Amino acid sequence: MPAPTVTPTVQDPTAPDPQKCPGYRASNVQNNNHGFTADLTLAGQSCNVFGTDIKDLSLVVDYQAKERLNVRIVPKHIAPYNSSWYILDSEFIEQPQWDGSTSSQSSDLQIKWSNNPSFQFSTSRRNGGEELFSTFGHVIVYESQFLEVVTNMQQNYNVYGINENIHNFRLGTDYTQTLFNADTADHLDGNSYGTHPFYQETRYSDGGSTAHGVYSRNVHAQDWLLRDTSITLRAIGGSIDLYFLSGETETSDGPTWGGRPGWGNFWWGGHHGAHGGNGGQQTSTSTALEVFRQYQAGCVGLPAMQMYWTYGFHQCHWGYKNTDNLREVVTNYSNAGIPLEGIWTDIDAYDRTRVFTNDPVNFAPVDMQSLHAWLQSRGQHYIPLVDSNVYFPNPNNASDVYEPFQRGDALQTFIRDSGTGYYYLGNGWPGFSTWADWLIPSSQTWFTAEMQLAHERAPYDGIWIDLNEAASFCAYSCGNGELPASYIHPPSNMSRDTRNLNNPPYKPNVSQTSTNNIIDMVILPNATHNDPYNTTEYDIHNLFSVGILRAAYNAMSQTVFPGKRPFIIGRASVAGSGRYTGNWGGDNDSRWGAMFLSISQALGFQMVGVPMFGTDTCGFGNAVNTTEELCARWAELNAFFPFYRNHYGIGKAPQEFYNWESVSEAARRVISIRYSILTYIYTLFYYAHTQGDTVMRALAWEFPDDSTLYQTDTQFLLGPSILVTPVLTEGDYTVNGVFPGIGQGTRWFDWYTLQEVKNVRPQQNVTMDAPLEHINVHIRGGTVLPTQAPGNTTTVTRSNPYGIIITPDNQGSASGNLYLDDGESISPSSTKLVEFDYSRGRLTTKNTGNYQATAPLANITIAGVSRQPRSVTFSTGRGRPSNVKSHFANNTLYVTGLEQYTRGGAWQNEFTLQTS
């Protein structure tokens, strides 16, 4: 039975205007040492525009940390039975708290409010008074199934985020972004798989910039209306729980580029200005990169650290026939000389597409065990799919036995149908299906047991989780064939204690199907959970994504691989999911436009603390096959994404890289680069995990004062130091790109030749050659970049000799960091952090920690050297300097033969390289 077609409210010209409502008035204001509280009372006659007005609200203003201010509005009278309507469980989404010391006087931010004509407030910077968010001139609307907050915006504002979306990097000012997790197949400009209600704004003026962030802790279906001079947030439930992030940090504006305080270099912190300054005086600045750190560290949690091997290249296909086919693919990659780290299977490996089973013929457990042992002997890995739906056996067929369901049934772990009281039955690949209820502990017990049994039957090294929006392939509870009562009558404003869940008065602008209906392709909103108050799916739909991701993380880290970092790639996500998982971009088209938009999609996930992100290289397919040219270009692009996997759909033409010689060559070249800098990528993830740094970066984030970069999304940086300029259009063998910072102290060096980019003006769009097998990559001046000789797997690469590339800045200095551990433990027993400093021809290292990396240091390469040095010496520890081999050509110094001095491991001892 199809769902009725509805008109989203934002597309309905006859829809009432919530801003005609009376708003609220504040009273009973009570100050405390970190903010104040107040009562909010409806300021006039109820308007009941999209629900029932809630007359009495409670306001909390909390200066939670120096950089973070919280404004929270909830109903004053909440009973246990309706708590989930308004209050978001901190077990799933972290609730930031006061740090115990910040006050209104010590905060970066301040708030002002007025009751004229109704309650309205604004937040601004304490230093300088810049207004960041203001509801002045607008009313707050709070109803049983609708809330609205409007903030004033400057014209032509630069806002980024409100993810997940398939859209340009800068969102624009005539755009509506809907957040409601659904199986949308990468639908352009609509709701997608994830919900991250957070935006970052950058403002440019007088040659500088400021940045701040706004986070709404709400996971109900919601629309964000970006208009010329305003942004409107509308949600169909939850609370108004806003967090304002200053983006400010104290920096030393001295003769070095300022990263985070005490770090001593720009390498992990971002460039806050040109050289010079005020002689080291502490000044306050705000940047997008700092906003993201504050959001992750203070609001939603820092991302998980991934295992080292996961940064290799992976191959998947929905359509591999059997284990022999998997071995063939792995062997073909090896024969083509293309490194491959992991082979993945889709639902083909299941018995009749039922999760936690194996096809007894084509992917029999004994064959899967043999396959896994073979892969392990080669230093490679296997990753299967885990679908989120659980097959519901036919109750009229005694032979239809499905043990994973039976074990879950014994624990009463599945979501229920509100009409029948029995399990909610939707539809998935195997047919009628049900879903685990992540609100109850028995679901974790059941899931852990199934994960362990699956590993015993067919060993795996990580998993990918699909359909965790949660997606159902029908409307209604299609297993019982009953029409939901809420569609017998039209939407209406019911009493406060009765809500129209399946047909709410306000229609979010959802687009997972042509009906624009929130009941399509998901679990029905009136389905109930098994907690004491029978929480409805309406209130926690978007939490299913993190529920199963967290369950998988717990199962793997505690039982399947105790103490080891779980490798989990999910599709659907919500704020804070990065604590458990990485993400892939879903079912993308094999089209040039999809490849282009993947950069913005990836940057969006960096903002919200899910750095382990990648899209299906060469495209999943959907309606079309990939092409040789597209696949080559996509292989080059995604080699610089954190997660790198080729995956394509059933019935599509083969697109493993080795199917074309040009793609094979492109892949060999670019994977060689990727594997050379795996230590750099791993270090980036260490700082993401510990500080909230981004791994991929927009040019505007690293060069925040360059207003010409505000919407650049055809280039990006990997960390602060690697500039990537991909070809994104068909038939092009040149590519245009900018070299940010040129003319302001920044130098750039070609990866392949190590020659400096010269004769380029500031903001100039430079045309570069880009043959099919080539992607333009440049190293930023001021970088000390650790490398390793690439191998055919990450394990081999990690055992190969190290190298160092130095690209000095315009003062002849450079710096960098290297983080090392065992590559797999959640809490490593030993670690090592190596800090590099290069100045005036002298490279020194400072080591912290006792982790032993046995690979020696083979060479050091210094670019941008004006003349051949008279002498080059190398010394370790307290040893005497030794003259070492060197070669000088094209302004580059190549120092070789260092293995004899570092046989115990490149970083066992601190060392000094001196050129003079």
- The CA distances from residue 500 to 186, 489, 508, in Å, are 29, 10, 14
The string of pLDDT tens digits covering residues 331-373 is 999 999 999 999 999 999 999 999 999 999 999 999 999 999 9
Proportion of the chain in helix, strand, coil states, percent, rounded to 5: 20, 30, 50
Give the span between the Cα atoms of 19 and 23, in whole angstroms: 8
| Listed residue (744, 782, 761, 797) closest to 864, CA to CA | 782
DSSP element (H, E) containing 374: helix 365-377
Tell me the pLDDT band of 481, cut-offs 50, 70 and 90. Answer: low
Report residue 508: phi and psi, to 5°. -60, 155
Q: For the chain, state the CA radius of gyration.
A: 28
Exposure letters 874-883 (e unless 16+ CB within 10 A, then b): bbbeeeeeee
- Indicate if the pLDDT at residue 482 is higher than 60: no
Give the span between the Cα atoms of 760 and 303, in whole angstroms: 38
For residues 207, 204, 68, 719, the Cα torsion angle rounded to the nearest 10 degrees is: -80
Structure tokens at 115: 């009751």
Domain ranges for the chain, please list them.
9-174+190-248, 384-482+519-577, 680-779, 801-915
For residue 257, what pLDDT is reported? 30
The string of pLDDT tens digits covering residues 609-625 is 999 999 999 999 988 99
For range 247-274, the mean pLDDT:
44
In whole numbers, what is the pLDDT of the chain averaged over residues?
Answer: 94
Give the span between the Cα atoms of 225 and 220, in whole angstroms: 16
The string of pLDDT tens digits covering residues 671-706 is 999 999 999 999 999 999 999 999 999 999 999 999
Whole-structure pTM value: 0.96
| Listed residue (242, 259, 240, 243) closest to 251, CA to CA | 259
Through-space distance between the first and last CA atoms of the chain, rounded to whole angstroms: 80
Give the span between the Cα atoms of 638 and 318, in whole angstroms: 20
The count of other CB atoms within 10 Å of the CB of residue 672 is 17
For range 175-199, the mean pLDDT:
95
Tell me the pLDDT band of 485, cut-offs 50, 70 and 90. Answer: very low
Does the 9-174+190-248 domain belong in CATH 1.20.58.1880?
Answer: no
Q: Could you tell me the CATH superfamily of domain 801-915?
A: Golgi alpha-mannosidase II (2.60.40.1180)
The upper half-sphere exposure of residue 340, i.e. CA atoms within 13 Å in the direction of its Cβ, equals: 29
- In the block, tokens 């942004």 appear at 231
Which is more confident, 326 or 497? 326
For residue 497, what pLDDT is reported? 57
The count of other CB atoms within 10 Å of the CB of residue 456 is 11
- Indicate if the pLDDT at residue 229 is higher than 70: yes
Give the span between the Cα atoms of 913 and 812, in whole angstroms: 15
For residue 514, what pLDDT is reported? 86
Structure tokens at 872: 């080059």
Give the span between the Cα atoms of 842 and 208, in whole angstroms: 34
Q: What is the DSSP string of 594-650?
A: HHHHHHHHHHHHHHTT--SEE-EET--BTTS---HHHHHHHHHHHTTSSSEEEEE-T
- Indicate if the pLDDT at residue 544 is higher than 90: yes
Give the span between the Cα atoms of 502 and 500, in whole angstroms: 6
Give the span between the Cα atoms of 93 and 576, in whole angstroms: 6
For residues 426, 428, 433, 438, the Cα torsion angle rounded to the nearest 10 degrees is: -90
Does the 384-482+519-577 domain belong in CATH 3.20.20.80?
Answer: yes
Tell me the pLDDT band of 475, cut-offs 50, 70 and 90. Answer: confident
Q: Taking the alpha carbons of 483, 519, 439, 183 in that order, is the dihedral positive or negative?
A: positive
- For 653-801, where are the E strands, in sequence order? 696-697, 716-718, 722-725, 734-737, 748-750, 766-769, 776-780, 783-788
* CATH for the stretch 680-779: 2.60.40.1180
Give the span between the Cα atoms of 343 and 268, in whole angstroms: 33
For residue 258, what pLDDT is reported? 31
Active site residues: 466, 469, 587
Pairing outcome for strands 842-849 and 783-788: unpaired
Length of the chain (residues) = 916
Tell me the pLDDT band of 877, cut-offs 50, 70 and 90. Answer: confident
The string of pLDDT tens digits covering residues 621-658 is 988 999 999 999 999 999 999 999 999 999 999 999 99
Tell me the pLDDT band of 476, cut-offs 50, 70 and 90. Answer: confident
Q: What is the crossing angle of helices 592-607 and 628-638, to 10°? A: 10
Judge whether 9-174+190-248 and 680-779 match in fold.
yes
Tell me the pLDDT band of 269, cut-offs 50, 70 and 90. Answer: very low
Contact 272, 151 (CB under 8 A): no
Pairing outcome for strands 813-820 and 832-839: antiparallel
Give the span between the Cα atoms of 193 and 816, in whole angstroms: 36
